[in-house]
Chain A
Amino acid sequence: MTAALLTLADSRLPAGGHTHSGGVEQAIAAGVLTDPASLALFLRRRLTTSGAVAAGLAAAACRAVDDADVVAALSALDAEADARTPSPALRAASRQQGRGLVRVGGRAWPHPAWAALPAQPHHPLALGVAAAAGGLTPREAAAAAAYLSVSGPATAAQRLLAMDPITVAAVTARLAPEVDAVAAASTDGLPAAADPLLDLLAEVHTARKDRFFAS
């Protein structure tokens, strides 16, 4: 555990994460997320699907920085991310967050690999490169991705439902062993877990005009 990992996973890192709810805004609108118990269920479901996918991609991108052909390796991973993200709205949200992380990460941790990323890369790829540039391991890149898959959405629920922030912090903290388990299990592969509910929520959400969050 290093300070670079804490920086990367800090919600205050200005990479645009605060404008994304990870499906929470639409889950609330649909009535499937209403209280701390349903928030915990939603976060666990998100962690083990899109969180696992992001963790695997982030670890692989971190590793790809040492590849003989970094550009080709990252480009292939970007296509793998597309293949694991059937929802166009979620692809756009991921690339938007990737772009934001490249902007701050490139300044925070200068490294030649930033230039090897495709334009507006998927967020986990930017996360993997940021981890490598910050001196972190693929396992740590996966940990950051897994943690971010629940921390941002938890905050969004707190804001939208005016939930007790201490309760929300407890919900997130108690997921820690599962976050670690997902990160560990995703580090050496590319999980392809899918969740049609998250895809559907994202597609309905993006068509709305009355939304607070970008996704």
Chain B
Amino acid sequence: MPPDHNLDDYVDPYSPGHRHGGPLRVGLGGPVGSGKTALAAALCRTLGAEYDLAVVTNDIYTTEDADFLRRNAVLPDDRIEAVQTGCCPHTAIRDDITANLDAVELLESRHPGLELVLVESGGDNLTASFSYGLVDVQVFVVDVAGGDKVPRKGGPGVTASDLLVVNKTDLAPLVGADLGVMRRDADAVRGGKPTLLISLREDPAATEVAEWVREQVRARALQEA
């Protein structure tokens, strides 16, 4: 560099820098009842033996989802943190992520070898999305029972999430939903990003979603290397 310049001139003062080390943080968002907690539980069961993992829950009421995960003995207590969201689950994952960062950092300090943290949002609506200050990648979960028009309605979760999961495909014939329409509408607005149509009832291991998460863990490891 020129002799009259110092290093500070070349450092972006606003940049937090790349977060070195630490676990992959995966956001799980989506409307109420679409299966976020069931997906989190499935991922814990499928990936719990492979990765050092933990979960943050953001409930309307504090501990409903955390209790579900505990009851199902998916994870030990000290790997689950519940966040209070002050009646605004949406704010807590996007506009002011302080409480969630506190929870993630607490889990990271408690388990220094942590490789994967799932941050499950409180049930919200189609406009909910995670700040990338909180998570590295985000999954948006909708369900067939909400109607096959949901992907067409769009919103940041449907269009911009790193993975769109359409859950409860087993209910399609019962609610008159056309899976082909959902697939086509999702593909049309997602600019090539993946969509998985699944049924956690038929595949409680969430095989395809788990494989996508493994790819993200590998990709982050490559970035770090």
Q: Is the CB of A18 within 8 A of B84?
A: no
Q: Tell me the B74-123 residues at the A interface (CB within 8 Å).
A: 83-88, 91-92, 95-99, 101-102
Whether B13 lies near A15 (C-beta < 8 A) is no
Q: Which residues B41-98 have CB closer than 8 A to chain A?
A: 60-63, 83-88, 91-92, 95-98
Considering the complex, give the chain A residue whose CB is closest to the CB of B83. Answer: A19
B-side contacts of A12, CB under 8 Å: 95-96
Q: A14-B97, A212-B60, A212-B61 are in contact. Are A21 and B86 (CB under 8 A)?
A: yes
Q: Is B2 an interface residue (CB 8 A)?
A: no
| Chain B residue contacts of A16, Cβ below 8 A | 96, 98-99, 102
A103 part of interface (Cβ distance < 8 Å): yes
Knowing A19-B84, A107-B16, A159-B86, the reply to whether A210 touches B98 (Cβ < 8 A) is no
Whether the Cβ atoms of B99 and A214 lie closer than 8 Å is yes
B41, chain A: closest CB distance, angstroms:
20
Nearest residue, chain A, Cβ from B59:
A212
Q: Which of A15, A159, A160, A209 contacts B62 (CB 8 A)?
A: A209
What 7 A-B pairs have minimum CB-CB distances, sorted nearest first?
Answer: A16-B98, A100-B98, A14-B96, A19-B86, A214-B84, A159-B87, A212-B87
Chain A residues within 8 Å of B, Cβ to Cβ = 12, 14-21, 96, 99-100, 103-104, 107, 110, 156, 159-160, 209-214
Q: 26 pairs across A/B with beta carbons < 8 Å? A: A12-B95, A14-B95, A14-B96, A14-B97, A15-B98, A16-B96, A16-B99, A16-B102, A18-B91, A18-B96, A19-B85, A19-B92, A19-B99, A99-B102, A100-B98, A107-B14, A107-B16, A156-B86, A156-B87, A159-B87, A209-B61, A209-B62, A211-B84, A212-B60, A212-B84, A213-B86
